[in-house]
Structure 1
Amino acid sequence: MDPTGVADPGFRRVLLVGTGALSVAFLPFWINWLGNTFPEMEKRVVLTRSARRFVSADAMSALCGREVVTDDWAEAAPGAVPHVELARWPDLVLVHPATMHFLGRYALGLTDTPLLCALQSTSALVGVAPSLPPGAHLSPVVQGHLDTLRDRPGVVVAPTVPAVSASTGELEDGGALPLSELMGLCVGAYARARCAEGEDA
């Protein structure tokens, strides 16, 4: 039995996405956790350009055994279609952490990067762990984007948790839920969807 509460989470290929919040620096730890907890699960990593300021792509590539993808059309090889591959390959996408900027673009349906284009067309379950700056959780615009994503089929939005802000040094609401707990939320959503499919059959 693993920490998510089930022996088999039902996912075989997970795409891990890191955006430019400081907590993306912990993503290598979570990749290692996934590898130890679900050794049969294949993993790939996408980093936004801002995320690469805080975490090493080389370290993540070594941990997951695959080249890390940078979320930038300019990084794609000539003739490549990274958005199609990123949409079709995973059966689970975990965005951890998800910045306020990323959440807004995703909620609005923008497709100006390979990852965002993939997320708008994938059939994979998408789990999102928001990481918000101090006070952002009170913004009606931010809450509107979060509500939009919560209402979107196939998307699981994790609650934020209290965390010490690197800028203020104070405990603030807006930290990203641990990836292990985001995984648990996605496993639960997957199980409920399978149960509903069985009832409709």
Structure 2
Amino acid sequence: MTTDVGEYGVYHGAEVHLHITGSIGAALVPWWIHWFRHINQDVVVNASISRGASRFVTKDAIAGLCNGHVWEDEWDDAKSEDWRQGRTGDSDCIIVFPASLDSVMRLAQGRSDSPALMMMQVTNLPIILCEAIPVTNSVIEHWRNILHERPNVTTAPPVVGIKATDRDSQETGFNLPGAIAMANELIDASREGDGVR
């Protein structure tokens, strides 16, 4: 069942995986999961929580809102072995929400020192990054460009948000509705056989 909200926030897949990383925006993720599940009541939501994210949100809070597998991004907590094959249940895509600067850089460098990173390094599933990057420079842009060479990786469209530090306005990729729209495009394209991008 999908709540009638037009197309806004409606997810075209049957299952999604949220990887929550260490940004202050992680504190807002429970509200966004609640919003998503209200609109998409039959969609299974899986989640993994990085060590950095656990400074801002707890596994218990996320598990209480998700209806799928929830695990900390630690080797001893990732009970399922799906991540070894780049899978997370039957998820149609992976949304990194928020995607902290550290997580984006680690993914771009090919690091696989946690179950979620390994999953994202070897998966063919679409990966949508909701970047929560405070500033940018040539080094950050270099690694982001390398990451975007992967045909299954894209970013959520930026929106104007408020910085936690000084309350000024700034563009941010912390945009779950935009990530859902991107996921829908990628899922629909893969179903039509057009590839991931």
- TM-score, length basis structure 2: 0.84
| Shift in alpha-carbon separation, 1:19–1:88, aligned structure 2, 3 A | closer
CA offset digits 1:31-52 (Å, max 9, x no partner): 1122121111111110001101
Hey, what does 1:87 align to over in structure 2?
Answer: 87
| Shift in alpha-carbon separation, 1:161–1:2, aligned structure 2, 3 A | closer
CA offset digits 1:64-110 (Å, max 9, x no partner): 13452111124346xx6363276252221110100111001101111
| Shift in alpha-carbon separation, 1:84–1:196, aligned structure 2, 3 A | closer
- Which structure 2 residues correspond to residues 106-121 of structure 1 after superposition, within 5 A? 106-121=107-122
Aligned: 1:179 with 2:176:
yes
Q: Which SS does the other structure have where 2:19 is aligned?
A: strand
Hey, what does 1:39 align to over in structure 2?
Answer: 41
Contact 2:75 2:115 in 1 (8 A): yes
Unaligned runs of 5+ in 1: none
- Which structure 2 residues correspond to residues 34-73 of structure 1 after superposition, within 5 A? 34-66=36-68, 68-73=70-75
Structure 2 residue corresponding to 1:151, chosen from 146, 149, 152 = 149
CA distance in 2, matches of 1:38, 1:194: 20
- Offset, 1:157: 1.3
Aligned: 1:103 with 2:104:
yes
- Offset, 1:172: 3.0
Q: Which SS does the other structure have where 1:95 is aligned?
A: strand
CA distance in 2, matches of 1:17, 1:76: 13
The percent identity for this pair of structures is 25
CA distance in 2, matches of 1:44, 1:193: 21
- TM-score, length basis structure 1: 0.83
Q: Which SS does the other structure have where 2:167 is aligned?
A: coil
Q: Which has the higher helix share?
A: 1
Q: How many residues align?
A: 189
Contact 2:86 2:121 in 1 (8 A): no
Q: Which SS does the other structure have where 1:184 is aligned?
A: helix
Q: Which SS does the other structure have where 2:133 is aligned?
A: coil
- Say which one has the larger Rg: 1
